[in-house]
Amino acid sequence: MEPIHTELQTALEVGTVASMVKANGYCFCGSAFFNQADFYDEKEWNAFADSFNRLAVDKYMKDNGTYRLRRFATLDYSTIDRVLSYDLARPYFQAPEINSLNGGIVRHFDPMEEEIVANNQFLRGLLQWAYNALEQLEGPSDWETTLHQIRVLARMDEQGEPTPEGVHRDGVTYIMMMVFNRENVVGGMSTIYDNERNPLIDVTLLPMDLIFADDQNVMHGVTSILPDQVDGYRDVFVAAFTKKN
């Protein structure tokens, strides 16, 4: 487990975001929001986005689908010393009552590239922004964070399912979802629901659009993606935050 000292901060108003999450259960932030961030750098964004081209096939799909590629990492964060420690070998587990499709087994995904986790300025800044918002929401706390890079393929012979388990929650405290690429696809509309599954917002996320949500008070789902005349894909980065104390 390697430490990363996080000195980057963001000028974005995390208080407003935290207030919206507290009031509504979620906050949608469009790409223009992050283009203003002091951690935004086109070269760093492109480096992170390019790393999605090197994901591995998800071997744990119980629907026998071959449409999902992914990499995974785990972080631990302390608000006391503000140091991120990353672990590229920790496995991933969800209870079957949380993930009815792929839950109940320990999954060992290929790790995210260490250069991206340790040194990518956009990722580091985005995570620090998220932790600043979490501190507004929860006060001083320690967090376990799972990071998921996911590419869903939309092929002429197989549609892609961004959320094959359907409308769900991830069994964490908060969750953040940002789209990085949409190439030659139609569909993929994200919906946030209340706990009675009433829809609260429908939005088709474009690159750098993000939803930050309270996983205990809302649920989420994404519609299928289909190829737009030729094979395509949708890339999404997910960070799931679990409060440890």
Hey, how many other C-beta atoms are within 10 angstroms of the C-beta on 50? 12
Side-chain-side CA neighbours of 212 within 13 Å: the count stands at 24
pLDDT value of residue 82: 84
Rounded to whole angstroms, how far apart are CA atoms 64 and 221?
20
pTM for the whole thing? 0.91
* pLDDT tens-digit map of 163-179: 888 899 999 999 999 99
Share of the chain above pLDDT 90, in %: 72
**Confidence band (pLDDT; 50, 70, 90) for 99?**
low
pLDDT value of residue 1: 35
- Convert 181-198 into a string of H (helix), E (strand) and C (coil): EEECEEECCEEEEECCCC
**Confidence band (pLDDT; 50, 70, 90) for 217?**
very high
pLDDT value of residue 102: 65
In the predicted model, what is the mean pLDDT of the chain?
89
Domain boundaries, position 126: 2-243
pLDDT value of residue 213: 97
pLDDT value of residue 230: 96
Structural domain count of the chain: 1
Check which CATH number belongs to the domain holding 210 and give it: 2.60.120.620
Residues 6 or more apart whose CB falls under 8 angstroms from that of 216 comprise: 169, 173
* pLDDT tens-digit map of 110-167: 999 999 999 999 999 999 999 999 999 999 999 999 999 999 999 998 889 888 888 9
